[in-house]
C-alpha cells in the first residue's frame, strides 16, 4: 500500500486501520492467483468468493446481527478500496455478496437472515441484486416485472437485465410491481433454482464480469421471502443503494490509487530527455492533480461511511452517498486517464494494469445510478434543505 496516511483520519478507527493492513497482506498473497488470466470470470469469481469466505472477509459484506455484528460501512468501503487496488474482479466478487444481501441485513426478519445469509458469508453461495430492466434503468420506477398475490405468496413474472452474477448467482433480491399497481412495489428473495427462473442471455462488457439478463416465468415465491412490507419495494432498493453507493466510490478510489502507483513507478524509471519522465514539470502537475483527486474522493467516501455508521442501521445518507459516488467515480476516470497518458503506449497495451483499470472504471460512472442521476439526487436534497431553512 503506498499512501497509508488516510488510515489515521478521524473518520476511521484503529480497528479499521488494522483490518486494512491485514486485508492488504491477504490480497497481495492470494488475489493474483485467484483472479488468474482474463477469460474465465465465472470460475474466477467462484474461487474468489470461496477464498474470501474461508478467510472471513465476507462477514463485512453480510454481518451476523444476531451475533452482535453490525453493518459497518467504513469497513465495507475499506474492503472494496483495497480489493479494487489489487484487482477489479476481486472487488466485484466481494461487492456482489454485499449488494445482493444488503436488503436482507437491513430489512430481513431474524428468520430470513438465518435462511439467506450464512451461505453468503461462507462463500458457498453467490448473491445478486435485480432492479434494472430493459426499459427501466435510471428510471427504475418504470419497472414492469410483476408480483401477483396468491393465497400463500406471489407469482413473479418479468425480465431483469444487466444483472451482475446473473448466470452464476444462487440467490437474488428482486424488485417488482405488486399486482401491476402503478405505485406499489415489493422486494422478494428469489432462489435461482426456483422453477421458472431463466438465465436468458449472458452479457459481455469491456471489463468482463459475470452478468446476464434473467427472466421469471410465473415463478412461485412464498410470502416468507418478502423483505419489508408490501408496497415498500423501492424503499428497500433505495436504502440498499444508499449503503452501496459510497462503496462504489471506494472501489473507484482503489482503482485510482493503483493508477497513481503505476504512474509514479513508471515516471520514476522511464528515461527521457537525459533524465526520467518524472523530472518534467508537466508530469509532476499530472501526478499532483491525481493525488488531489484521490484525497478529495477519499474524504467524501469516508465522510459518507462515517455519517452512516454514526447514525446507525435505519439512517439514510442520500446526499453524502450521492456525492461520494459521483465525485470518486468521475475523479478516478480522470486519474486513470492521466495514468494512461504517463504510460504512453504501454497505457493502451492490452493486459497491462493501467489498460485494465481504464476498462474497469468506465461502468462505475453508469451503474447504481449514473453520474447525472447522482447530480439530480444532490440537487433535490439541496432544494429540500433550502426550503426547510426558509
Ligand atoms: C457493469 C454493470 C453492472 C450492473 N449491475 C447491475 C446489477 O447487478 N443489478 C441491477 O439491477 N442493475 C445493474 N446494472 C444496471 C445499471 O444500474 C444501469 O445500467 C443504470 O441504472 C443505467 O440504466 P440504463 O443502462 O438503462 O441507461 P439509461 O437509464 O437509459 O440511461 C442512459 C444515460 O442517460 C443519462 N441520464 C440518466 N438520467 C438522466 C437525467 N436525469 N438527466 C440527464 N441524463 C440522464 C445517463 O448518462 C445515463 O447513463 C449494471 C450496469 C452495468 C453497466
Can you give the pLDDT of all 390 residues of the chain as single tens digits? 578 899 999 999 999 999 999 999 999 999 999 999 988 999 999 999 999 999 999 999 999 999 999 999 999 999 999 999 999 999 999 999 999 999 999 999 999 999 999 999 999 999 999 999 999 999 999 999 999 999 999 999 999 999 999 999 999 999 999 997 878 999 999 999 999 999 999 999 999 999 999 999 999 999 999 999 999 999 999 999 988 999 999 999 999 999 999 999 999 999 999 999 999 999 999 999 999 999 999 999 999 999 999 988 777 899 999 999 999 999 999 999 999 999 999 999 999 999 999 999 999 999 999 999 999 999 999 999 999 998
Q: Output the pLDDT for position 378.
A: 96
Query: Phi/psi of residue 92, each to 5°?
Result: -55, -50
C-alpha cell at 305: 461511511
Residue 137 in contact with ligand 1 by CB distance below 6 A: yes
Assigned CATH class of 127-231: mainly beta
Residue 359 in contact with ligand 1 by CB distance below 6 A: no
How many angstroms separate the CA atoms of 314 and 368, rounded? 20
How many angstroms separate the CA atoms of 280 and 294, rounded? 21
Q: Output the pLDDT for position 259.
A: 98
Q: Any idea what DSSP says for residue 367? A: T
pTM of the complete model: 0.97
**Is the CB of residue 260 less than 8 Å from the CB of residue 89?**
no
Name which residue sits closest to atom 14 of ligand 1, judged by CA. Answer: 162
Tell me the helix, strand and coil percentages in the chain, rounded to 5.
60, 15, 25
Residues whose CB falls within 8 Å of the CB of residue 239, separated by 6 or more in sequence, listed in order: 103, 106, 107, 316
Name which residue sits closest to atom 43 of ligand 1, judged by CA. Answer: 372
Residue 65 in contact with ligand 1 by CB distance below 6 A: no
Name which residue sits closest to atom 52 of ligand 1, judged by CA. Answer: 367
Q: Output the pLDDT for position 210.
A: 97
- Asked if 368 is an active-site residue, the reply is yes
How many angstroms separate the CA atoms of 193 and 354, rounded? 39
**137 CA distance to ligand 1 middle (Å):** 5
> How far is residue 204 from each of residues 39, 164, 186, 201, 209, measured CA to CA in Å?
11, 11, 29, 10, 8
Atom of ligand 1 nearest to the CA of 139: 29
Residue 363 in contact with ligand 1 by CB distance below 6 A: yes
Q: Any idea what DSSP says for residue 170? A: S
What architecture is the 5-122 domain classified under in CATH?
Answer: Orthogonal Bundle (1.10)
Q: Which helix (H) or strand (E) holds 338?
A: helix 318-343
Residue 126 in contact with ligand 1 by CB distance below 6 A: no
**b or e along 53-90 (b: 16 or more beta carbons within 10 Å of the residue's beta carbon)?**
beeebbbbbbbebeeeeebbbbbbbbbbbbbbbbbbbb
CATH of domain 234-389: 1.20.140.10
Pocket probe for ligand 1: among 210, 364, 370, the residue whose CB has the most ligand atoms within 8 Å is 370
Residue 326 in contact with ligand 1 by CB distance below 6 A: no
Q: Which of 68, 92, 99, 76 is nearest to 23 (CA)?
A: 76
Question: In the chain, where are the structural domains located?
Answer: 5-122, 127-231, 234-389
- List the catalytic residue out of 289, 368, 372, 385: 368
Q: Output the pLDDT for position 370.
A: 97
Residue 205 in contact with ligand 1 by CB distance below 6 A: yes
Radius of gyration of the chain (CA): 21
Q: Output the pLDDT for position 1.
A: 54
Angle at 143 between CA 138 and CA 145, to 5 degrees: 145
Question: CA dihedral in degrees (237, 116, 95, 376; nearest 10)?
Answer: 0
How many angstroms separate the CA atoms of 25 and 20, rounded? 9
Amino acid at each position: 500500500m503506498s499512501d497509508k496516511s488516510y488510515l489515521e483520519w478521524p473518520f476511521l478507527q484503529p480497528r479499521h486501520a488494522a483490518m486494512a493492513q491485514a486485508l492488504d497482506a491477504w490480497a497481495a498473497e492470494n488475489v493474483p492467483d485467484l483472479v488468474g488470466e482474463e477469460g474465465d470470470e465465472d470460475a474466477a469469481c467462484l474461487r474468489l468468493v470461496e477464498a474470501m469466505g474461508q478467510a472471513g472477509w465476507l462477514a463485512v459484506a453480510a454481518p451476523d446481527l444476531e451475533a452482535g455484528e453490525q453493518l459497518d460501512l467504513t469497513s465495507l468501503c475499506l474492503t472494496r478500496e483495497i480489493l479494487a487496488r489489487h484487482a477489479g474482479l476481486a472487488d466485484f466478487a466481494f461487492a456482489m455478496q454485499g449488494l445482493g444481501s444488503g436488503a436482507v441485513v437491513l430489512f430481513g426478519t431474524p428468520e430470513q437472515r438465518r435462511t439467506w445469509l450464512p451461505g453468503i458469508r461462507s462463500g458457498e453461495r453467490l448473491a445478486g441484486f435485480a432492479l434494472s430492466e430493459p426499459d427501466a434503468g435510471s428510471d427504475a420506477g418504470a419497472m414492469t416485472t410483476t408480483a401477483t398475490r396468491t393465497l400463500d405468496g406471489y407469482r413473479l413474472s418479468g425480465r431483469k437485465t444487466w444483472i451482475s452474477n446473473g448466470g452464476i448467482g444462487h440467490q437474488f433480491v428482486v424488485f417488482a410491481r405488486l399486482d401491476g399497481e402503478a405505485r406499489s412495489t415489493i422486494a422478494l428473495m428469489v432462489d435461482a433454482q426456483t422453477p421458472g427462473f431463466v438465465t436468458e442471455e449472458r452479457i459481455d462488457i469491456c471489463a468482463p464480469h459475470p452478468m446476464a439478463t434473467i427472466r421469471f416465468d410465473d415463478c412461485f415465491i412464498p410470502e416468507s421471502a418478502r423483505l419489508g412490507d408490501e408496497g415498500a419495494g423501492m424503499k428497500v432498493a433505495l436504502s440498499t443503494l444508499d449503503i452501496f453507493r459510497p462503496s462504489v466510490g471506494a472501489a473507484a478510489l482503489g482503482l485510482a490509487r493503483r493508477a497513481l502507483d503505476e504512474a509514479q513507478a513508471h515516471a520514476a524509471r522511464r528515461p527521457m530527455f537525459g533524465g526520467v519522465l518524472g523530472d518534467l514539470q508537466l508530469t509532476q502537475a499530472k501526478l499532483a492533480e491525481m493525488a488531489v483527486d484521490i484525497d478529495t474522493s477519499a474524504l467524501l467516501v469516508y465522510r459518507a461511511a462515517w455519517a452512516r455508521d454514526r447514525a446507525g442501521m435505519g439512517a439514510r445518507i442520500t446526499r453524502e452517498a450521492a456525492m461520494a459516488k459521483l465525485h470518486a467515480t468521475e475523479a478516478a476516470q480522470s486519474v486513470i486517464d492521466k495514468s494512461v497518458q504517463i504510460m504512453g503506449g504501454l497505457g493502451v497495451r492490452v493486459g497491462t494494469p493501467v489498460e485494465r483499470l481504464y476498462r474497469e472504471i468506465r461502468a462505475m460512472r453508469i451503474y447504481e445510478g449514473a453520474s447525472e442521476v447522482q447530480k439530480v439526487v444532490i440537487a433535490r436534497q439541496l432544494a429540500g434543505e433550502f426550503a426547510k431553512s426558509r
